Structure 1
Amino acid sequence: MVPVTGPAPHLRATADAYDALAVLYADFSRDALDGLPLDRSFIAAFAELARATGSSGSASVAELGCGPGHVTDHLRGLGLDAFGIDLSSELIGLARQEYPGMRFDVGSMDALDLADGVLDGVMSWYSVIHAPPEHVPAYLAEFRRVLTAGGALLVAFFESGGGPVEAFDHKVTTAYRWPIDDLAALAGEAGFEEVGRMLREPCEGERFRRGHLLMRAR
């Protein structure tokens, strides 16, 4: 497993913030996909693309920044061989308790303890949001490294409404809103081609528009 004590201070700050609020965050996010049919439809499209890449209809998929594991479990329900990785050891501990039959590891998205090309899919579900903008290209490059050619990538994030990248006061720790075109362009530079995108307006209780990018590794 990859330690979280690397040179980027935002990694330690993010891990500490989620460790401190792990139980509250797990309770808050447990039913996060309920009532979000558009979000679930994009996850289903990601699952289908990953399965098409895998052998014999199976697909190995990692949710990076998996938190307490509820979305990883949703991926498993879609027929994927899914596992989760997160910076927060406290959240990983909760995920292991909640889903004892699944794999959850502590690690950093920018330095994965995985061989090249071993995955059919990578999901980053509101997890790159905490990376300072200058670090995001390295995250995307790492996603591409661990994906097989044709592998699927799904990135969900807070969209900036067409404005520049903007920091905001996320309830856990500092996060960033991205213009969807800019994030898609960075993914293209990292070796991905766009399959589709979705923007949806905030639901009740949400502050910002949500962006979703479905990509394929070249």
Structure 2
Amino acid sequence: MTDDTARDTAPRRTGSLDTGPEDTPALDTDFLDTTRAFYDTIAEDYADRFRSAGAGGPLDRALMGAFAELVGPQGQVADLGCGPGRVTAHLASLGLRVLGLDLSASMLAIARREHPDLRFAQGSMLELDLPDGALAGAVSWYSSIHTPWERLPDLFGEVRRVLAPGGHLLLAFQAGDEPLRLDRPFGHPVALDCERRRPEAMAELLEKAGFTVLSRTVRVQEEDTSSKVPQACLIARR
């Protein structure tokens, strides 16, 4: 998903879910089921509400354009947490070869219906069904916010795995400390928490995962958006 106020999108499939040795704690993956069910429920209303939003405002599009230039023409990119496919389509219009990935089957049905010329697949950012080094770029556009903080190193490690050396990651999220609770959106009986993160803390996690952070921007507010929450974007290189 790609809007500033609601969806930082859905996490994907989680590495191996085997518990391993008896002294190894089981990984918490309940948030994946919760996220999937939430977006399956609101998918059509969400797509209708944000259909006119496109790929965001001019500053968002500028960041995507810079990312596309860094990746290079016809670079293979995965849009992780693609939702109804708006950002996926915009990245394709910039000359990239894009695969959209999402947890929610209902969101993917909308993406395929509205962008039949693009490729979409169901899966988790935590366990990508891609070979090592398969991608020139990856985009997580408001799609990491339902992933618990302690699982972010796993997420970034998996993204690094599928990026070729020199590949780039574009990571967007809401900046701050207070989470946002989405309760009964569009009148549906579902709820979900969206985490806000400090850009410097996210940059540190990326660096620990083996990335070099090239750019860190925080947009306070644009004229064409009602959001009062700062929006952060990091561009990093494997």
TM over 0.5: yes
Which 5+ residue runs of structure 1 have no aligned equivalent?
A: 52-56
Query: Does the aligned pair in 1 maintain the 2:13–2:126 contact within 8 Å?
Result: no
Query: Does the aligned pair in 1 maintain the 2:77–2:97 contact within 8 Å?
Result: yes
Match status 1:37 vs 2:37: no
CA distance in 2 between partners of 1:193 and 1:39 (Å):
21
| Residue aligning to 1:180 | 199
* Structure having the larger proportion of residues in helix: 1
CA distance in 2 between partners of 1:34 and 1:74 (Å):
6
Pick from 158, 167, 181: which aligns with 1:169?
181
Which secondary structure does the structure 2 equivalent of 1:116 belong to?
Answer: coil
Match status 1:199 vs 2:218: yes
Question: 1:63-212 counterparts in 2 under 5 A?
Answer: 63-160=79-176, 165-170=177-182, 173-203=192-222, 204-212=225-233
Match status 1:213 vs 2:234: yes
Pick from 60, 71, 93: which aligns with 2:76?
60
> Which stretch has the larger CA shift, 59-68 or 29-38?
29-38
Q: TM-score normalised to the size of structure 1? A: 0.89
* Deviation digits for residues 111-148 of structure 1 (CA, Å, limit 9, x no counterpart): 01000000000000000011111111111101100000
Which secondary structure does the structure 1 equivalent of 2:48 belong to?
Answer: helix
- Structure 1 residues 187 and 3: CA distance shift in structure 2, 3 A: closer
CA distance in 2 between partners of 1:125 and 1:186 (Å):
17
CA distance in 1 between partners of 2:202 and 2:121 (Å):
27
Off by >4 Å, runs of 4+ in structure 1: none
| Residue aligning to 1:48 | 69
